[in-house]
Amino acid sequence: MVIAISALFISAAFLFTGHGLQLALIPIAAANAGFSHVAIGFLWSGYTLGLMIGCLTVPRIIAAVGHIRAFAALGCAVAALLIAFSFFSDAKAWLVLRFLQGFMLAGVFIAVESWLNDKTANELRGVVLSSYSTLTLVMISLGQLSLTLFGPGDPRLFSLAAFLTLLAVIPVALTRADAPQIAARVKVDVNKLWTTSRVAVLGSVLVGLANSAFWGLGPVFGRAAGLSASELSLYLSITIWGGAACQWLMGRLSDRFDRRRVVAAASFMAAGAGIAMTYSIGRSYALLLAASFVFGASSFSLSAICVAMAHDRARPGEFLETSGGLLFIFSVGSTLGSLLASTAMELAGFKSLYLYTAVVHGVLALTALGFSFARPAVPRAEKQEFRPLPQTSPEALAIDPRSHKEPD
């Protein structure tokens, strides 16, 4: 088991390093090519739409051709698509490539995470899930630091991202282990989720609306602010480091106190950080970095807290249904969020990006605080322990030990 999990973690490390690089590279390259803010926003929406459709349909492809073949083919396709970006300069072509990339990456994520779920012993699930969640953020941040190797927008960076993706294929493709079963299925019952936890549903939508602004347009914000390659990559990475460093802290606070009020407090922090980031432009790079860390620490913890909030009120045995539904709702918000944020940037300038996130986080803070007075909190003794969750595919949710608790 140790050898199998080690190989999967090595594969994931290469995968998320390349993934982090392309997350920053594509918006910057699009801006360098003269794409409008709205066009760049569409690129992120196309990616998340492809990812959603892939999560729903790729398991059938894997079942039809076999796990290893599907993983190798989809991984190579992702690498080919990354190289293809450097051959086109049309926004419509990039939108198609971005959609296909999201679809293919869904298959790669599902392959790695279903294998990890299959090879993890029940007593180690919490450790493995936490390690995998931290690994995703750390390696994505390292990938974004790779922008300094050639300079933002350099076409060679597309080749580097493709190279790292191909390296990720090797450990899984060479494994002798039996192929796992695809465990998770996305089932979305909005009425049931709303009855279970209104704040979790609204929070998932609003967090998707806000976080997509950073992932899809944060690099464009830094470029428009005149940051150098090293300053830009550090600003992006330190935001992610904030999320990686503080998820557990925010989660533990939500275990101790009313999760809705922790969501409200974290949202107010994220809103304040967004305003500080806007103010810092042209004034203080140090303030930008400090505010970016706080933004990541507060905003990136909200989705997992929403899952924990809903799970506190859900029935035993409903974790996959509940968390999978919230992941889907988050993805819908993410698809729409980059369009709203890019429209704000187009109308009011690049500085409006984090003012947009401040408004969204402010709405979430007030909503969560208001609902905390309308319904009693779940007693601390009845709460389920918080665990960080990656937002990649439903298969990652199946690793969580909460998904293996039997119904009463």
Higher pLDDT, 68 or 202: 202
Alpha carbon distance 200, 260 (integer Å): 9
Q: What share of the chain has pLDDT > 90, as a percent?
A: 39
Give Cα separations from 263 to 206, 299, 364, 377 (angstroms): 12, 9, 8, 13
Q: Does 190-404 match 2-173 at the fold level?
A: yes
Higher pLDDT, 375 or 40: 40
- pLDDT for 58 equals 81
- pTM here? 0.87
- pLDDT for 33 equals 87
At 300 the three-state DSSP class reads: coil
- Longest CA span, the chain: 58
| DSSP string for 126-158 | HHHHHHHHHHHHHHHHHHHHGGGGT-TT-THHH
For domain 190-404, which architecture applies? Up-down Bundle (1.20)
Alpha carbon distance 243, 293 (integer Å): 8
Alpha carbon distance 264, 276 (integer Å): 18
| Confidence check: pLDDT of 312 > 70 | yes
- pLDDT for 187 equals 65
Alpha carbon distance 349, 288 (integer Å): 18
Higher pLDDT, 149 or 196: 149
**Mean model confidence pLDDT for the chain:** 84
For the ranges 24-38, 334-348, 375-389, the lowest mean pLDDT is seen at: 375-389
Higher pLDDT, 246 or 397: 246
| Confidence check: pLDDT of 393 > 90 | no
- Best mean pLDDT range from 55-69, 153-167, 180-194: 153-167
| Confidence check: pLDDT of 342 > 80 | yes
Fold of the CATH domain 2-173 = Growth Hormone; Chain: A; (1.20.1250)
Higher pLDDT, 166 or 128: 166
Structure token pair of residue 20: 């982090």
| Confidence check: pLDDT of 366 > 60 | yes
- pLDDT for 3 equals 59
Q: How far is CA 285 from the centre of its chain?
A: 26
For the ranges 22-26, 298-302, 310-314, the lowest mean pLDDT is seen at: 310-314
- pLDDT for 284 equals 92
Domain boundaries, the chain: 2-173, 190-404
Nearest 5°: CA angle at 274, between 215 and 209? 45
* pLDDT-based confidence at residue 183 (cuts at 50, 70, 90): low
What does the pLDDT look like over 110-160, one tens digit per residue? 877 777 777 776 667 777 777 888 888 889 999 988 888 887 767 889 999
The closest alpha carbon to 355, from 273, 284, 240, belongs to 273
- pLDDT for 200 equals 85
Residue recorded with tokens 């050639």: 150
Radius of gyration of the chain (CA): 20
Element (H, E) at 263: helix 259-280
CB atoms closer than 10 angstroms to residue 188: 14
CB atoms closer than 10 angstroms to residue 66: 13
Structure token pair of residue 345: 């940037």
| Confidence check: pLDDT of 319 > 90 | no
Residue recorded with tokens 């890019």: 342
| Confidence check: pLDDT of 408 > 60 | no
CB atoms closer than 10 angstroms to residue 187: 14
| Confidence check: pLDDT of 106 > 90 | no
HSE of 259, CA atoms in CB hemisphere, 13 A: 29
Mean pLDDT of 96-105: 93
Residue recorded with tokens 């208001």: 370
Say if CB 47 and CB 98 are below 8 A apart: yes
CB atoms closer than 10 angstroms to residue 276: 19
Alpha carbon distance 360, 205 (integer Å): 10
CB atoms closer than 10 angstroms to residue 363: 16
